[in-house]
Structure 1
Amino acid sequence: MELHASESPYDLILQNVARFIDLNEQEKELFKSLLKKGSAKRKEFIMQPGEITKYEYFVTKGCLKVYSLDRNGVEHVSMFAIEDFWTGDMASFMQQQPSSYFIKAVEDSEFLMITKENFERLFKEIPKFERFYRILYQNSLVSYIRRTNEGISLTAEERYEIFLNKYPHIANRIAQKDLAAYLGITPEFLSMIRSKMSKR
């Protein structure tokens, strides 16, 4: 969901929240007051391994990449977050422990952020947000389990087709090497898959 010219970043996040809970005007204003605006230029890091995650991020413009490096320096992409996506390192954020992930802007990006302190205040002052974040985190866990199972049981070509069907609006915004790192294959192998599919 892209942000239209007449909309503010807060409109987008309120629409996101409204899918699961209803807020009155006072609650909307309180929620907005607990958020902070942020931005990152293309290729800029907003988080690196060893840092404690200070924020949960909601992307209002652009694209962020969450990834880790293995001991051989090979990149493994966990997710791409575009407009209307939440992202961050939930474990680091909730437990205030050092993260193992990089978060890097793939495009010039803008986002709304909430601190751990304001996150807890939100639950205390608007309890219905516990339902919202429970659903959000449940969906995230289900996606993680599904993707793990797909990595074990499906071919790279099948995983690529699933990505295209699920995220057609992301595929043309990211580099081939980044998509290959998400699929767990080399860019060369992804190129072969694309060539094979184009001949069907």
Structure 2
Amino acid sequence: MSMKASTNHKLLYYLNNWVDITEQEEAIILSAFEPTSIKKKKDLLVPGEVCRYVYFVTKGGLRSYFVDSKGVEHIYQIRLDNSWISDLESFFSQRPSKYYIEAMEDTQMLRISHERLEQLYHEVPKLERYFRILFQKAYINALERLNATMWESAVERYNDMLKEHSDIFQRVPLTYIASYLGITPESLSRIRKKK
């Protein structure tokens, strides 16, 4: 299987988990997504730019973060293989983003623009349901993260992260994981030693 076929297969596999897609519809969907890649440490998005795409990560890892007035980075999303990443606020409003999206590894993706996604809804109407579910989940995840930082202990947040990404510690620097969890690297080390 070629790299392109393998990449496309992953996207179709995740779409088919939610909606039944015919072969004809598969061809339409694949033509709407553009394969792209980015090297480790390069930016996919920087503050002040409008986020024009939603990305499906087929292989690699990305993080989104913002930098506060003191110059401290706060990681908002960590996304590894077979997951979606974007700044949805900027993507839907088409206003400038406040976030960076940076590659943590050499990363291969499929991307779709705002305009092309709207077209795709007309061409394959059942996909509107998939993306509605996807965007609802993204909103719920954002609220859960906000609530977790207020109500859950660092250990609970750590355990939730491990459930979601069992291989995360092999692939993502500890400083990034600590920032995502809203704790210091020292606190993260203490939690890991107790496990």
TM-score range for the pair, normalised by the shorter chain length: over 0.9
- The residue type equivalent to 1:148 in the other structure is L
1:117 to 102, 115, 118: 115
For residues 85-108 of structure 1, what are the alpha-carbon distances to aligned partners after superposition, in whole Å with 9 as ceiling and x for unaligned? 011011111111101111100011
Q: CA RMSD in A?
A: 1.8
* Alignment partner, residue 181 of structure 2: 183
Which structure 1 residue ranges, 5 or more long, are not aligned? none
Paired with 1:144 and 1:53, the residues of 2 have a C-alpha distance of 18
Paired with 1:64 and 1:76, the residues of 2 have a C-alpha distance of 14
Measured after TM superposition, the shift of residue 171 of structure 1 is 3.0
% identical equivalent positions? 38
Identify which range, 146-155 or 8-17, moves more after superposition: 146-155
For residues 37-56 of structure 1, what are the alpha-carbon distances to aligned partners after superposition, in whole Å with 9 as ceiling and x for unaligned? 11111111111110001111
Paired with 1:6 and 1:119, the residues of 2 have a C-alpha distance of 20
* Alignment partner, residue 160 of structure 2: 162
* Alignment partner, residue 12 of structure 2: 14
For these two proteins, the number of residue pairs brought into alignment is: 195
Which structure 2 residue ranges, 5 or more long, are not aligned? none
Within 5 Å, which residues of 2 pair with 1:1-200?
8-195=6-193, 197-198=194-195
Identify which range, 6-15 or 122-131, moves more after superposition: 6-15
Q: TM-score, normalised by structure 1?
A: 0.92
Identify which range, 86-95 or 139-148, moves more after superposition: 139-148
- The residue type equivalent to 2:81 in the other structure is E
Q: TM-score, normalised by structure 2?
A: 0.94
